[in-house]
Amino acid sequence: VIKCKAAVAWGAGKPLSIEEVEVAPPKAHEVRIKIVATAVCHTDAYTLSGADPEGCFPVILGHEGAGIVESVGEGVTKVKKGDTVIPLYIPQCGECKFCKNPKTNLCQKIRITQGKGVMPDGTSRFTCKGKQIYHFMGTSTFSEYTVVADISVAKIDAAAPLDKVCLLGCGISTGYGAAVNTAKVEPGSTCAVFGLGGVGLAVIMGCKIAGASRIIGIDINKDKYAKAREFGATECISPQDSAKPIQEVLVEMTDGGVDYSFECIGNVGVMRAALEACHKGWGVSVIVGVAAAGQEISTRPFQLVTGRTWKGTAFGGWKSVDNVPKLVTDYMSKKIKVDEFVTHTLPFDKINEAFELMHSGK
């Protein structure tokens, strides 16, 4: 058993608490990882807020991390002690019908136990002050050591800087894949990206790499426009600058609508606007943001009858074990940006400040 520091969420709506936790050794087909770097994501904040129906407490959150394998359980063959890895919240077992189908990346092998905050055998590897602590998204990267299923880990280039590539565990991969895998943006196309946070910037990067000729960034926070342009946005607009609904503004700006739109916020009203900003006959709108529990999307069926397509994406459609190492290689060979997404680097015990920076849009 390893004793180490972890940021424990004791209950909904409370700040994270840095505690000493015990991390049990990995059982069969499990891997214990020394986490070197982790990032914070709105999904962590969503669960911490208490709005997540799957949220269970006390829990160690975090799902964007990178580290070194400390030990492996019985039967683990894909990684060994000392390997550099990224934990994966969408695993890839290679055996379920989802993994065998090229149309999806949604491996279901451990979905039920992962959603309940436990390892595949139904138990937790974390304890603190004598209490069992739940796992989160199968990763729990807000701990100096974590245990994950062996199908939830990608072995990456040992030379990769972990404080950067941890972002490929969720945000950058999700946005980039939404453009290149889910939407399949084509050269010369016009795109609109709603929400210019980390995921939105990654979508812009994907649209640019795919050859889009016009990329319109949309956000009410104008402080984000400079960064969006740096990533490839050709122009940025705020919905607050017009009396008309934003979809009407976009339809006018683009002679009938955009070819591809992306919702990177998790707001069902914006999801409707993103669809309705698409061009009749061929426009495709991809939902990337995660809306709160129980919310529903709506539009007039005529929007779809007249040739628009509504899609969704999880982790950018990447088959995780196969593709995360390739994304790291693409970063190392300067094909995709990663460093530019990092705005602040803080010591682990300042994790609550990291959440404050995220909530303030900084």
The DSSP-derived string for 150-203 is GGGEEE--TTS-HHHHGGGGTHHHHHHHIIIIII---TT-EEEEE--SHHHHHH
Structure confidence at residue 54 (pLDDT): 82
Q: In CATH, what number is assigned to the domain containing residue 208?
A: 3.40.50.720
Residues 262 and 294 in one domain: yes
What distance in Å separates the CA atoms of residue 109 and residue 118, rounded to the nearest whole number? 14
Residues 20 and 153 in one domain: yes
Q: What's the number of domains the chain is made of?
A: 2
Structure confidence at residue 274 (pLDDT): 98
List the domain range (segments joined by +) for residue 75.
2-169+319-360
Residues 220 and 309 in one domain: yes
Q: What is the largest CA-CA distance in the chain?
A: 63
| Alpha helix ranges (H) inside the chain | 42-49, 97-100, 111-115, 162-165, 171-177, 198-209, 225-231, 246-253, 268-276, 301-305, 320-332, 351-359
Q: In CATH, what number is assigned to the domain containing residue 135?
A: 3.90.180.10
The whole-model pTM stands at: 0.96
Residues 207 and 298 in one domain: yes
Task: Name every residue whose Cβ is closer than 8 Å to that of residue 47 and which is 6 or more positions away in sequence.
Answer: 9, 54, 55, 59, 61, 136
Residues 302 and 287 in one domain: yes
What distance in Å separates the CA atoms of residue 197 and residue 343, rounded to the nearest whole number? 11
Structure confidence at residue 8 (pLDDT): 98
Residues 227 and 188 in one domain: yes
Residue 222's closest CA among 202, 239, 208? 239
Residues 202 and 306 in one domain: yes
Residues 245 and 277 in one domain: yes
Structure confidence at residue 350 (pLDDT): 97
Residues 154 and 178 in one domain: no
Residues 182 and 305 in one domain: yes
pLDDT per residue of the chain (362 residues) written in tens, 0 to 9: 999 999 999 999 999 999 999 999 999 999 999 999 999 998 999 999 988 888 899 999 999 999 999 999 999 999 999 999 999 999 999 999 999 999 999 999 999 999 999 999 999 999 999 999 999 999 999 999 999 999 999 999 999 999 999 999 999 999 999 999 999 999 999 999 999 999 999 999 999 999 999 999 999 999 999 999 999 999 999 999 999 999 999 999 999 999 999 999 999 999 999 999 999 999 999 999 998 888 999 999 999 999 999 999 999 999 999 999 999 999 999 999 999 999 999 999 999 999 999 999 88
Residues 281 and 351 in one domain: no
Which token pair is 77?
Answer: 């063959």
Which token pair is 47?
Answer: 């669960």
Angle (nearest 5°) at CA 319 between 158 and 197: 80
Residues 257 and 355 in one domain: no
